[in-house]
Amino acid sequence: MRVTNSMMVNNMSYWVSQQADKLQDAQTAVGSGKKINKPSDDPGASGQILSDRVSLSQYGQYESNIAQAKTWIDASSATLNTVYSTLQNARNAVYSAGGTDPLVEPIPTVATSSITPKINLYSGKATSGTFSAKTNIYDSDLKAIPLTITFTKTAANTWSWAAAIPPAMGTIGSGGSGNVVFDAAGQLVAGADPTISFNLIGGATTPQVVTWDLYDAGATNGDLTQYASKSSIGDNAPNVAIGLLTNFYNQILTLANSQYASSYMYAGNLSDIMPFAKVEIDSAGVADNIVYDLASAATKADIQVINSAGVVVRNILGTSFVALPLHNTMAWNGLDNAGNPLPEGEYSFIVTASDATGSIAAYPRYRGDDGGKEVLTGVNERVVLNNNGKDIFSSILSNLSLAITAITNGESGAISMAGAALKDSLTELEAKQVELSNASVQLGSASTRVQLVSKNTSNRISDLELGSPEEAAIKLQAQQTNYQQVISVTANILKMPKLTDYI
């Protein structure tokens, strides 16, 4: 094979170019501080670096998930703490209305100087039959003292009564018993208001004298009646309790519909749906169905639809004397009482249900689902947060509604049961708060783990990618020498004074 000058020139140019590329790589390594600047520098190490960078991106997403979940937990914890405090106040309000077994001290007002219980005694009660009415008085230290007034039927339209307080709190002094007489219409025959003296134990002012305003309700003397309906009690404390409980109910209902990052916190996976209470009319004038639950089957349910200004815009009367199921859905056409279409927006509603014996508790049905809020914290690792509003709030709203109904109906036994149910709701809520705390701990551990793995991965990338500046400088100097030698040798082989004149 004949080797021409042109072939020699081309061959020498190729090797010079190779050395020039290596020199450029060495210069880049010194300038960047990295020993791997392109895959060909070290294919195996480059593959590992690319894989590690993908992992770092995933770890960053896990950290973001955890940070968002922690913020959600903080918001949820604050919400549940408020619910707990409100529920405690509700429990106290039930106790003040005649319930028993208080969870904490009821809300104090002032030392009691008079009471005005509104009591009905069943006219059909047999002679010797009894009925006990419970209320509270407050001593000078503003401590609640349960007061029980027991009525015993002694003859037609005639009853005896006796007051009592817990022995551990004191005894009844003068004026603690008497008799009442009713006319044929069930109204009290006029008499003098009893004045009851309480001999208290525990450091409060004693004796404490309380007047029972029994006969000053006007011409009918209606504070104490004898009608042909079940015996019941209703005094100012229960009336105040109903107002308080209604406010507490609405507060908790609002909290159950809390939002976080424009999504409903307690609707499960259906975070775009308000989980409780309200209905919506869309831009086309189509209204949601009204969905609600009843504590027991009712014979009638009336619904008031209320706009954002608090104005009742539609009254929907239920069918009487037809037993309604516990879970109800009522269609609404989005029209007001005059038959005019209502504007787009959200509307609340109030259900008033009853049967032959009185009111039935009604409360909004949960409209979310049972899905938990899953937080991906690693490969096949996740923490589930409880955002199931039904699990958290439904029993609370149910028990509050039951308490309001029991006090409205004047059922002392039901009032005590409602108080116990609210105490159970507090216990259940404490468990939900513990769940949140445990989830926060899990997320903290997951965050620590992700940060450690991320740091190790970053260190591995650095070890593979970064070079020693001193070593890179030595390699650059050596490559510069090699380049100059190749140029010199090539020039000698081609017998050219200057190779740069030809390349």
Q: Note the residue count of the chain.
A: 503
Cβ contact 281:345 at 8 Å: yes
Q: Please say if the pLDDT value at position 216 is more than 80.
A: no
Q: Please say if the pLDDT value at position 186 is more than 50.
A: yes
117-234 carries CATH number 2.40.160.20: no
Cβ contact 380:321 at 8 Å: no
Least trusted range by pLDDT, from 11-25, 148-162, 239-253, 356-370: 11-25
Q: Please say if the pLDDT value at position 175 is more than 90.
A: yes
Sequence-distant contacts of 168-175: CB under 8 A, at least 24 apart: 168/201, 169/145, 169/200, 169/201, 169/202, 170/145, 170/198, 170/199, 170/200, 170/201, 170/202, 170/206, 171/198, 171/199, 172/196, 172/197, 172/198, 172/199, 173/197, 173/198, 173/199, 173/207
Q: Which two tokens stand for residue 495?
A: 């017998």
3-state secondary structure 305-316: EECCCCCEEEEE
Q: Please say if the pLDDT value at position 286 is more than 50.
A: yes
Residue 334: CB partners within 8 Å, gap ≥ 6?
Answer: 281, 285, 286, 287, 341, 342
The rounded distance, in Å, linking the Cα atoms of 448 and 487 is 57
Cβ contact 118:235 at 8 Å: yes
Chain mean pLDDT for the chain: 78
Q: Please say if the pLDDT value at position 153 is more than 90.
A: yes
Q: Please say if the pLDDT value at position 28 is more than 50.
A: yes
The rounded distance, in Å, linking the Cα atoms of 423 and 395 is 12
Cβ contact 226:120 at 8 Å: yes
With CA atoms as reference, report the closest residue to 363 among 473, 245, 456, 270: 245
Q: Please say if the pLDDT value at position 102 is more than 50.
A: no
User: What pLDDT score was predicted for residue 288?
Assistant: 83
pLDDT digits (tens, 9 = 90+) for 52-94: 778 788 888 889 989 998 999 999 999 999 999 989 888 888 8
Transcribe 288-307 into DSSP letters: PPEEEEESS-BSEEEEEEE-
Q: Angle at CA 125, nearest 5°, toward 119 and 128?
A: 100
Cβ contact 279:288 at 8 Å: yes
The rounded distance, in Å, linking the Cα atoms of 176 and 265 is 54
More confident residue, 491 or 131: 131
Query: What stretch of H or E contains 146?
Result: strand 144-155
Three-state secondary-structure class, residue 106: coil
SS3 content of the chain, % helix, strand, coil (to 5): 40, 25, 35
pLDDT digits (tens, 9 = 90+) for 357-414: 667 778 888 888 888 888 898 888 888 888 899 899 988 988 888 888 777 766 667 7
The rounded distance, in Å, linking the Cα atoms of 210 and 193 is 10
